[in-house]
Amino acid sequence: MHGTRMIIVAAAAISVGGCSVNVPENAFLYPDARIAAEKIELTPGPAMPRSAQTLTLPYAGGQLATTRLSSTKDDQAPLILFCGGNMFRQSAYGGLVGGQLAAFGDVLLFDYPGYGVSTGASDIAGMKAAVAAMAAHARAIADREQRRLILWGHSLGGTVCAEGAVNAKADVLVLETTTPSANAVIQEALGWKRFLIRVRLAPPLAEVDIPSTLADYPGRIIVLEAGRDTVLPPVLSRRLVQALTAEGVSVDHLVFAEAGHNDVHSQPDFTSRMAEALARP
């Protein structure tokens, strides 16, 4: 979540009196228009393989650019729907992420509305609508091909992927370096000032609450924590696990002590540990 920098800067500029912070809905969103305005450079990774299958999927808000990558496993491998973070674009990082996750199953990638070539409103409602459409699409494929369905949310993607997993009745939900809620991110960024500053979240952000969303989710949940995460500190992953456990939800919690926010997949024990976790009943 690149947007946490904005919160930290805002918090640092506030006096310690009876102050408040208004957090707009777009605080954590980085559609292409914002990327261009802030002159952020996305460093492209490996290209998509030639075998990648592209599809434009219509949804309520417009058109979603999607890609399916085949697994290195057999035809009964799971289908993985990946929900990326706020910097994720298939054109920049699809080849890298798809290649890493293909060790566990076929991979479905997509761009959020206003990201890449996907169209639609670049807001929380638009993202939720996109994920709902992708989750339904993935569920239909998984049922037709008799595969298990895994939804995998990284960073910002975890906050919207959770609802998609519930709606699609996914067999497994992976929450990678994410947060229990938008409020938790802001409180952590404020540090000691959180005791002095009242935070007012825009309603769509205030509604982001992964533990509440998953309270009745029957599938398996795997939380991935990065020990050196400086974007969403590892304490947020731990609080997510604690909050889910308090809701009576069983969680597998994998800690990658040397990983940062974006390189959990590059850790030497990532593939073996994830394969073991995903194979559990």
**Which residues does the chain have with pLDDT short of 70?**
1-18
Amino acid code (one letter) for 73: K
Report the pLDDT value the prediction gives residue 170, as an integer from 0 to 100. 98
Question: What is the pLDDT, as a whole number, of residue 18?
Answer: 54
**d(C-alpha 160, C-alpha 182), whole Å:** 11
Contacts of 106 (CB under 8 A, 6+ apart): 68, 69, 70, 71, 77, 78, 79, 80, 147
* DSSP per-residue codes, 107-153: EEEEPPTTSTT--S--SHHHHHHHHHHHHHHHHHHHHHHT--EEEEE
* Rounded Cα distance, 33 and 101, in Å: 29
Going by DSSP bridges, is the β-strand pair 251-256/220-226 parallel, antiparallel, or unpaired? parallel
Q: In sequence order, which residues have a C-beta less than 8 Å from that of residue 27 and are 6 or more positions away?
A: 3, 6, 7, 202, 205
Q: 45-179+209-279 falls under which CATH superfamily?
A: Alpha/Beta hydrolase fold, catalytic domain (3.40.50.1820)
| Predicted pLDDT at 17 | 42
Q: Are the beta carbons of 247 and 214 closer than 8 angstroms?
A: yes
What are the strands of the beta sheet with 106-110, ordered from one edge? 53-59, 62-69, 106-110, 79-83, 149-154, 172-176, 220-226, 251-256
**Do 258 and 268 touch, CB atoms closer than 8 A?**
no
Compute the distance between CA of residue 72 and CA of residue 95 in angstroms, rounded to an integer: 14
Question: Residue 69: phi, psi to the nearest 5?
Answer: -115, 135
pLDDT tens readout for residues 120-171: 999 999 999 999 999 999 999 999 999 999 999 999 999 999 999 999 999 9
The set of residues, in sequence order, having a beta carbon less than 8 Å from that of 147 and lying 6+ positions away, is 76, 77, 78, 79, 105, 106, 141
